[in-house]
Amino acid sequence: MHEDLIGYLLGALEPHEMRRVAQWLEDDPEARRELDEIERSLRPLEEFYEPPEPPPQDLIARTLASLPPMPNASGSSPPLGASEHAKASTVAKHRDKHDLVDLPKLQPSIDTIRSRGYGWTDWLGAAAAAIVMLTVIIPALAAGRLEARKVACQDRLRQFGTAITQYVSHSPQERMPAVAETGREAFAGVFMIRLNEAGLLTDPGIRWCPSLDQPPSMEATLTDLASVPSLDDLHVAPVDQLRQIQQFAGGHYAYNLGVMEEDRLKSPRFEARASFAIMSDAPLSGITDSTQHGKVVGHNATGINILYEDGRVRFIPLAGLEAMPDHPLLNHRGEVEAGVSVDDATLAPSWRPPFVNVLQR
């Protein structure tokens, strides 16, 4: 049964298996203790993960600055400036006065460079080699950093998938966290509040995508963005604070706006479908139709990670979104609104209501 607990924690079991394990956990205190121990043992893998640091922005300038002075066209080095003359004169007087031997030098002197025939062609060769190396290294470092952040986002989406699967296992109709049709709960990010209320969101910080910065007005906002507000907070918040809760509750992640079922907006029923999108990462507010993607979404405008109902997380290039039978960011009418059928998934950022003209308070 140890494998069942791991599958339950990762959301990798079928719905009926999730219900069976959930019932087992409810009846067996020893199983709950074992599940807590497994979760504690896995937590350091996330807590100590740090994406690699990016290369300094001035790396090329610093590398070129470290090269020897470029000689002039005649092969001799450029004349010394006033400060260099003063230093050379001081050193010469110091040597004459104390008859000291030459101290070891960390860098070759100009005379050494001249004696070795270091001319302008050598300088250009060294500079060209440095530039070529940097043009090879910097893209590789940037690509490595992008890949690390993309993988970190995939891990967070899997954590959300586990939490949503556990939420579904306790839902009478096996439905995912619902976005209300109107009112204060009519925004995509309310799913985060519902998961938190159910005790399934262990770390509120996972709602911030590693590829994006947290809101710059973090300290100036009316809402404490370090924690997820409760439903009570949502319903008593004044208008300005309500707007901020709706904007930031879902973090950087998009969630399913719901589907039309029997002419009513309902939360999708969990059926472990391989093509039904539940969440995605890095969505921003500019998505309005299929022609306005560009750099609005994605990891450096390359693509997005999508969590599907069967628990898989796939990275979809932005160019590939248009060719998908069910566009994850648009419904079948090409709108950022709730799906027009039970199999029509539409993901949207936190602030987005299920329909364009909806009263959210």
CB contact at 8 A, 71 and 120: yes
Q: Which of 175, 154, 188 is nearest to 307 (CA)?
A: 154
Mean pLDDT of 187-210: 90
| Bridge partners of residue 73, in order along the sequence | none
Give the other-Cβ count within 10 Å of 175's Cβ.
15
Whether residue 70 is predicted with pLDDT greater than 60 in this model: the reply is no
How far apart (Å, rounded) are the C-alpha atoms in residues 270 and 107?
69
pLDDT per position as a tens digit, 3-29: 776 766 666 666 667 777 777 777 777
Whether residue 358 is predicted with pLDDT greater than 70 in this model: the reply is yes
pLDDT: is 72 or 275 the higher one? Answer: 275
pLDDT averaged over the chain? Answer: 75
pLDDT: is 32 or 94 the higher one? Answer: 32
Residue 322's pLDDT is 81
Residue 285's pLDDT is 45
Mean pLDDT of 45-49: 54
Whether residue 231 is predicted with pLDDT greater than 70 in this model: the reply is yes
How far apart (Å, rounded) are the C-alpha atoms in residues 107 and 118?
14
CA 162, 313, 20, 231 torsion-angle sign: positive
Q: How confident is the model at residue 276 (pLDDT cuts 50, 70, 90)?
A: very high
How far apart (Å, rounded) are the C-alpha atoms in residues 227 and 198?
15
CA 218, 156, 175, 354 torsion-angle sign: positive
How far apart (Å, rounded) are the C-alpha atoms in residues 78 and 145?
41
Q: Can you list the positions of beta strands (E) in the chain?
A: 254-256, 259-261, 264-266, 277-280, 303-308, 313-317, 347-348
Range in 76-85, 200-209, 318-327 the model is least confident about = 76-85
How far apart (Å, rounded) are the C-alpha atoms in residues 348 and 354?
9
The whole-angstrom distance between residue 16's C-alpha and the CA centroid of its chain comes to 32
Q: How confident is the model at residue 236 (pLDDT cuts 50, 70, 90)?
A: very high
Question: Tokens in use for 239?
Answer: 């208008």
Mean pLDDT of 103-112: 50
Residue 159 Cα distances to 39, 113, 230, 250, 307, angstroms: 12, 60, 20, 14, 10
How much of the chain, in percent, has pLDDT values that exceed 90? Answer: 32
Mean pLDDT of 301-311: 88
Q: Which of 291, 273, 274, 272 is nearest to 329 (CA)?
A: 291
Mean pLDDT of 279-308: 63
Residue 238's pLDDT is 93
Residue 288's pLDDT is 41
pLDDT: is 64 or 358 the higher one? Answer: 358
Q: How confident is the model at residue 123 (pLDDT cuts 50, 70, 90)?
A: low
Range in 38-52, 143-157, 166-180 the model is least confident about = 38-52
Residue 99's pLDDT is 46
Whether residue 176 is predicted with pLDDT greater than 80 in this model: the reply is yes
Residue 208's pLDDT is 84
Residue 53 Cα distances to 46, 47, 141, 216, angstroms: 17, 17, 9, 20
pLDDT per position as a tens digit, 252-272: 899 999 999 999 999 999 999
Range in 294-308, 310-324, 339-353 the model is least confident about = 294-308
**Which residue type does 360 have?**
Q
Q: How confident is the model at residue 100 (pLDDT cuts 50, 70, 90)?
A: very low
Whether residue 141 is predicted with pLDDT greater than 70 in this model: the reply is no
